[in-house]
Structure 1
């Protein structure tokens, strides 16, 4: 059985982003640095702290992040490449609306289907961080 939930999120009067979530939601895994003085931007949105890249942590695209509703919760990430899975804690938002400014380390907005993960997540999944992106599925744990 696959549970499908679709939600329309209004961020500004002129911006509507549709995000779909299923029990095995397809996504793109990207690499993020959650430590201070890296290219990951500022402190994590959930707790306003920096985190070690040795921790199993992620940032979710804006719609999946859903106004901090997943902060501190674990998600299960499964690599489509090798079938390995890992549980990781949501600590941040990968902003799908704003970007290209100082607050976002001059990076463009995140795509709406991204799970932005620490090096530890990539390692646990047996994936090469040099690739930069991998196809995954994820679900709430």
Structure 2
């Protein structure tokens, strides 16, 4: 997918999110690695509230969520056409674990448009989490943004 520069002020970089760039090519994925009892993933930080970097309402319930809710978005393959909507996953990282609700998709097939907050497509192995998940895992705030984790269906 080829990127375009977002209109001025339209790409929210609140959680160190990347904005699409004119002429940049971004990979897309319609799959994710197989899910096991301990699936490797990259935990990223996402805002699920109105006017936050997550873009629009969550796909599962068409609602916004606060930073204090234990919620996540999964890469397209793991989101599995809403099959995991409103189910819970266990996340293990930073020597801690937390249970979070799947409320959205981190789209791996599309990006660089208004619906995707002018951000590139997600990688195929992303668990995009609210601040509450990062806090529950005991990760210091200055280390939020990218953490190797494992996850499983709860």
Aligned pairs (5 A) from 1:40-119: 40-79=54-93, 82-119=94-131
Equivalent position SS for 1:20: coil
Residue 124 (str. 1) matches residue 141 (str. 2): no
| Inter-CA distance 50–138: structure 2 relative to 1 (3 Å threshold) | same
Structure 1 stretches of 4+ with a deviation exceeding 6 A read none
Q: Report the counterpart of residue 136 of structure 1 in structure 2.
A: 149
Q: Structure 1 pair 91/16, CA: closer, same or farther in 2 (3 Å)?
A: closer
| Structure 2 length-normalised TM | 0.78
Alignment RMSD, CA only?
Answer: 1.2
2:30–2:77: 8 Å Cα contact kept in structure 1? no
On the 8 A contact 1:31/1:129 being kept in 2, the answer is no
Structure 2 spans left out of the alignment, 5+ residues: 1-28
Kept in 2: contact 1:26–1:136 (CA 8 A): yes
Count of residue pairs brought into register by the alignment: 125
5+ residue gaps, structure 1, are 1-14
Moved more, 129-138 or 59-68: 129-138
3-state SS in 2 of match to 1:67 = coil
- 1:57/1:18 CA distance change after superposition, 3 Å: closer
Q: More deviation in 66-75 or 126-135?
A: 126-135
